[in-house]
Structure 1
Amino acid sequence: MNPNFAPTMKMAHHPVRSRGFTLIEMLVVISIIAMLAALTMGGYTYAMNGSKEKTTRGTFEAVKTALENYLSEFGEYPEPANEDQQVEFTLGKSYNIGGAACLYQAVSGDGFDQLKGVTSSGAEEASPSSDGKISGTEEVSHVMLKELPPTMWMKKGEFYILIDGFARPFQYIKAAPATAGNEPTTINSTYDLWSYSFDQVNIGKKSIDTLETPKDSIKWIKNW
């Protein structure tokens, strides 16, 4: 036997197994992903709602200015011809669009059939109904807002209406003349203008309805 020879020992080699996730670890990872997704969606929703509110307030102020221009031009505020006209916007949710249709025509000059008591008076014949565009000297002369962004109006069914940042119709009621024995129809002595804004519950209420329950209009953007 060779004295320089040392016997070697054979070592058993076992394949290294990759360590997988345990059930608890998987649940923790899923929970973290769910929380991050919720935070992301929550931030997105918050930003979108803020943008809609900002758009609504900007449009709101523009409409108020246009109404004062209308008063200066014609000596009175416009009055809706179909004050109680209802249109379904989403399944089971209808909105009053009479005021919004009146506002659209009053500020854009596009038609006049939604304006109570208004008739064509120009030499050039004007179309009584709206068509989404301005044409003819009479329509052009009645424009209260020179530029009406597409975010401010939409066509719903057969009606062209003025909308808020939530793509819902603005609400508008002209004050009735104060006469003895008549109940007021508005809070203001001129007109009531509002957007339901974030509110999706009290969409059937009018401004005058909120006098006894002001909390119903707490989410609205309004002029009272």
Structure 2
Amino acid sequence: MKTTLFKFHSRPRAFTLVEMLIVVTIIAMLAALTLGGYTYAMRSSKRRLTTGTFEAIKLALERYNSEFGEYPQPAGSNQMMPFPPGTAAYDISGAACLYQALTGDGYDQIKGVTAASSSSAGGGSAGGSSDGKVEGTAEIKNKMFVEIPQTIFTKKGSTYILIDGFGHPFQYIKAALPSTTTGSGSSGSGSSGSGSGTTTATTINSTYDLWSYSEDEQNTTKQSINTLSDPTLSVKWIKNW
């Protein structure tokens, strides 16, 4: 008896549309998890860099205060400039003052320091502007940072500033000193009387307010004093109050 063998050739099975969608979804989820982890790691790294620089600035400000008997005061205010990657504007006046006061490179961003007094505070560059270099006896005297890494300062326009780990300028405001007014009036004993008045507070601390907006790009026009009425403004900030 003869047996006939039949051969069947099966066609390769292709993915269905549903299976393709499942695969694409899984790939997208894995990519999102990877990107999310990377973003979190980068943000944490930037905050650690900001915190380290923040503490170094505080120590340098104390050295400045010990050397000159006062904390530096920014020469200007509200020098707003945009910073990438977004379009948020930041005030660079405090960061410019900090750069000059703590590196000795220039003095025109420090209030009250002139060419005549630059030998005791601030640098000796022409016109008092920063040039990115620390040289000469006047500037060396005012060098509060032993070494200043390239990662914590940058040039914005024509101005050198101290920046945080996010590439944004540190914010710094010196506390206003109480103003005293003296008046005289006659009394039964013939002595004169005096009265005193105080200025409106611009800082939370009695010395200075120092902060970084960190990853917050929504409240970059808010000042430290604004957080007294609305503490939620500074949830993401790194600050000294």
TM-score, normalisation: structure 2: 0.86
Runs of 5+ unmatched residues, structure 1? 1-5
Q: Do residues 96 (structure 1) and 86 (structure 2) align?
A: no
Aligned equivalents of 2:208, 2:12: Cα separation in 1 = 74
Aligned equivalents of 1:82, 1:183: Cα separation in 2 = 18
Aligned equivalents of 1:125, 1:100: Cα separation in 2 = 19
Mean Cα displacement is larger for which, 119-128 or 207-216? 119-128
Aligned equivalents of 1:28, 1:218: Cα separation in 2 = 39
Aligned equivalents of 1:181, 1:82: Cα separation in 2 = 22
Partner of 1:24, secondary structure, is helix
Quick check: 2:173–2:209 contact (8 Å CA) kept in 1? yes
Runs of 5+ unmatched residues, structure 2? 180-196
Partner of 1:87, secondary structure, is strand
Quick check: 2:176–2:199 contact (8 Å CA) kept in 1? no
1:219 Cα shift? Answer: 1.3
Partner of 2:40, secondary structure, is helix
Whichever residue aligns with residue 164 of structure 2, its letter is D
Partner of 1:59, secondary structure, is helix
1:146 Cα shift? Answer: 1.1
Quick check: 1:126–1:138 contact (8 Å CA) kept in 2? no
Residue 126 of structure 1 corresponds to: 125
Aligned equivalents of 2:111, 2:198: Cα separation in 1 = 23
Q: CA RMSD in A?
A: 1.7
Partner of 2:83, secondary structure, is strand
Residue 240 of structure 2 corresponds to: 223
Whichever residue aligns with residue 35 of structure 2, its letter is M
Aligned equivalents of 1:34, 1:144: Cα separation in 2 = 50
Residue 52 of structure 1 corresponds to: 46
Residue 81 of structure 2 corresponds to: 87
Aligned equivalents of 1:8, 1:209: Cα separation in 2 = 96
Residue 203 of structure 1 corresponds to: 220
Select the residue among 168, 192, 195 that pairs with 2:209: 192
Select the residue among 182, 188, 192 that pairs with 2:199: 182
Aligned equivalents of 2:156, 2:124: Cα separation in 1 = 26
Indicate the structure (1 or 2) with the bigger Cα radius of gyration: 1
Aligned equivalents of 2:199, 2:218: Cα separation in 1 = 29
1:8 Cα shift? Answer: 4.6
Q: Deviations over 1:38-58 (max 9, x none)?
A: 110011011001000100100
Q: Deviations over 1:98-146 (max 9, x none)?
A: 0000001111111111011112344995331111111222112210001
Equivalences for residues 1-224 of structure 1 within 5 A: 6-9=1-4, 11=6, 13-90=7-84, 92-120=87-115, 121-122=118-119, 126-127=125-126, 128-179=128-179, 180-224=197-241
Aligned equivalents of 1:209, 1:70: Cα separation in 2 = 27
TM-score, normalisation: structure 1: 0.92
Residue 188 of structure 2 corresponds to: none
Partner of 2:82, secondary structure, is strand
Mean Cα displacement is larger for which, 185-194 or 14-23? 14-23
